[in-house]
Chains A and B, each alone.
Chain A
């Protein structure tokens, strides 16, 4: 046998031998027990890099993700956000948090039952030290919140105090962002953090690059196995959450597993084959799976839009492009777009229509829809495909059609490029509809689809190029404890108008001092009526000035389930109190769904 062949066999043998070490709870050769394992897709792309909760680059999205709806299967936050009712529920915390009278300090307690995976109690000191480490080592959580949080301290072993950063006038800079921290960022064990610090010699880069295979966590699952093809988590049967002060029991699946698929098509095939129970990816024409293929697959809502829209994929106008500084041009294009075609073609009806949920700055959830006066902005809203209305708008503004059939502004033809990243098929389909609308009203709009790496470099830099990026598609915020304020800020605030590394929003460069003032005022406002008035004014400004326009509603997470093995997944109106949101039973309060699952057989 030649040397290469021998080496391959030796490596295979060593690989098999080494891998057998993982089968501590499974007999050698046993597959993961199907009736104890919940399979996912769409959460994890590529192999896991590490488990370090201080790192923002673990590529461990299935397990470690500090975000608006933090993923809490391994590490836990004091509170978990529920996007359905807009409330934060206590997880590690004991009861609701409390502001002081001036809204400069928040106090909350830690549950007596809360324990780390090594059996030691979770304490207020852990919460405080996590913040100290986040600041010291400039982690994502630290640099993201230091403008809003001054200090987090342990009043006693079970009581935490969070001090807001104050403005010169003595008022908190942004109370909403302080609240946001409590359900978005993990509590990490102080003892383990100190061990990590000692290992890295206080070096910030090493601290954040450590893969942290020895992590200590407080969540119901921990790592079991990872390789280039999958990641598997195993339930910690000593999980503190089985205490009556929290869930009162363990989550039902013993294993959570996520195969690493090359793309959506591979994930879709696995969902159809029953190899995936929970699908967090866009599956086109999802209804065909139960209507035509008769598979036991379903979604959160039984009918279109099948899920709850949370974010607003948006077309931004580059306000420096010729003619796009004119409201008439911007509004004409926006009202001419056939949104029904976008929703039926690009989203295969997995979005509410603009007739069902008229456009504003809010997502379709009941909580956000209640935050503005619908009647006050009704005359400003449009459902789209209004070609005659758009033409009239342009004619009235003196933007006439020339002999070639194209419209001119001050003697120069209006010609634009609409763009989004290549390969984002639903976005590309939407951009094509925008371009078609332009043609119908005499404005030339061509399309261009750069690769994502190029696209994102260009749109996050200032200034945008003079051509090629006239109408560009980007996202907006989804659901979270700072919404809809944060989404509005990202759509309208001038603080992002001329900045580099701008991942936040307002990519078109819109500046409106009146909008800025309202955006600044809302986080400090606690009067519900005043808040509603302010939000209504912002919606009115947005629909009047049209610096950008929403193309569709998109769910926070896609949530389709295959009930071949497991059932009793979260559904709209399933009677759960509080309602379990459709976030794949991993994010925020959605984790409650793991405790309700049942086996089909």
Chain B
């Protein structure tokens, strides 16, 4: 037990507060960067919108008038500090502002509509990839021999495969050539969302290609990591000692894999933290609605509020994931807490 006395509890409280302080500072810096970085992009977002909305207008004074209207509306000509104060005030009230590229839609509405597509795609893909990869990696380390010799090259190949390459291969093979699965959209091109098995089945079939394009790559990386950790643990002194003690292999393996899992759990937590920004390739190639597509459109349209909104969510999720990992590590591994406290 780590909380055996007041000293440990006080130590953990200090550790917790220190971490909280650091994450607070990181959050402030991240908010600042979320605001500044999009605005450092070269180009004028109002010009992008003006071009879009003045097509066919022949009057030069009319075009200039439209430009001025949008510049005033979006406040892009105000001093940067004034814009920042307004941004922080709005964010503090949960208001991410109005999208430039999808004006007059609020950023919050856009994010609300797209985030669930991404979470529903990414979360299961990360979990499934993580589970299968770790199981295969552990088995490869334990069984060795032919299984390992076959699995390792495949894992290395998969983990190094670019995401777009995997997506295109799956699309070409299973979508275009074999015609087994649909290649585009979140559900059938001829479907109107409704509460029916036909629609749910359509969603499931459209889910397959983007899902597996993420899972297959994740499996490779996880399997390699887990295999290495397991081999390391299998050769550790405590394993040898356990064997001398006559403890059964099955029991030893539970010790080994529990220890080998620690860094893998960290990886999982970070993957979950970054998932909202991570499905860009799959979403783009399969025209899948989601946050990846949304941020891409935001960047192309220099949509500052939309970019800031998405990056703020990503930042928050990564920070929360990191914070939780640190806290859990502080709990389960006293060495880390002790080192940090020093």
Contacts and interface: CB of A to CB of B under 8 A. Distances in A.
Contacts of A411: none
Interface string A164-192: 00000000000001001000100000000
B37 interface: no
Contacts of B66: 56, 140, 143
B183 to A, nearest CB: 6
Interface stretch (B20-28, B56-64, B309-317): B56-64
A528 interface: no
A553 to B, nearest CB: 19
Interface stretch (B97-105, B213-221, B225-233, B320-328): B97-105
B192 A47 contact: no
Contacts of B43: 451, 453-454, 456-457
A29 B102 contact: no
B114 interface: yes
Given A138-B65, A262-B284, A32 B60 contact: no
Interface residues of B, number: 71
B282 to A, nearest CB: 11
Interface stretch (A14-22, A90-98, A387-395): A14-22
Interface in B253-297: 283-287, 289, 293, 297
Contact of B64 (A55, A450, A501): A501
Nearest to A143: B62
B178 to A, nearest CB: 13
Interface in B180-210: 183-200
Interface in B36-69: 41-45, 47-67, 69
A510 to B, nearest CB: 15
A486 B184 CA distance: 40
B192 A228 contact: no
A56 B54 contact: yes
A11 B114 CA distance: 12
A464 B42 CA distance: 15
Given A143-B65, A453-B302, A17 B184 contact: no
B104 A275 contact: no
A169 B6 CA distance: 96
Contacts of B199: 16, 29
B113 A228 contact: yes
B301 A138 contact: no
Nearest to B183: A269
Contact of B196 (A29, A34, A273, A482): A29
A26 interface: yes
Contacts of B91: none
Nearest to A453: B43
A260 to B, nearest CB: 7
Contact of A262 (B117, B175, B285): B285
A59 interface: yes
B176 interface: yes
Given A138-B65, A454-B43, A28 B194 contact: yes
A22 B193 contact: yes
B280 to A, nearest CB: 11
With most chain A CB atoms within 10 A of its CB, the pick from B56, B116, B195 is: B56
A446 interface: no
A303 to B, nearest CB: 28
A460 interface: yes
A247 interface: no
A29 B60 contact: no
Interface of B: 41-45, 47-67, 69, 73, 101-105, 113-114, 116-117, 119-120, 123, 175-176, 183-200, 283-287, 289, 293, 297, 300-302
28 contacts: A16-B194, A16-B200, A19-B193, A19-B195, A20-B194, A22-B192, A28-B195, A49-B105, A66-B56, A138-B69, A140-B62, A144-B59, A147-B62, A180-B58, A229-B287, A230-B185, A262-B293, A269-B176, A269-B183, A453-B44, A453-B300, A457-B43, A460-B47, A486-B58, A489-B58, A496-B60, A504-B58, A504-B60
Given A16-B195, A49-B103, A50-B104, 14 more contacts: A15-B193, A29-B198, A46-B101, A46-B297, A56-B53, A143-B66, A145-B62, A224-B192, A228-B114, A453-B300, A495-B60, A500-B64, A502-B63, A503-B50
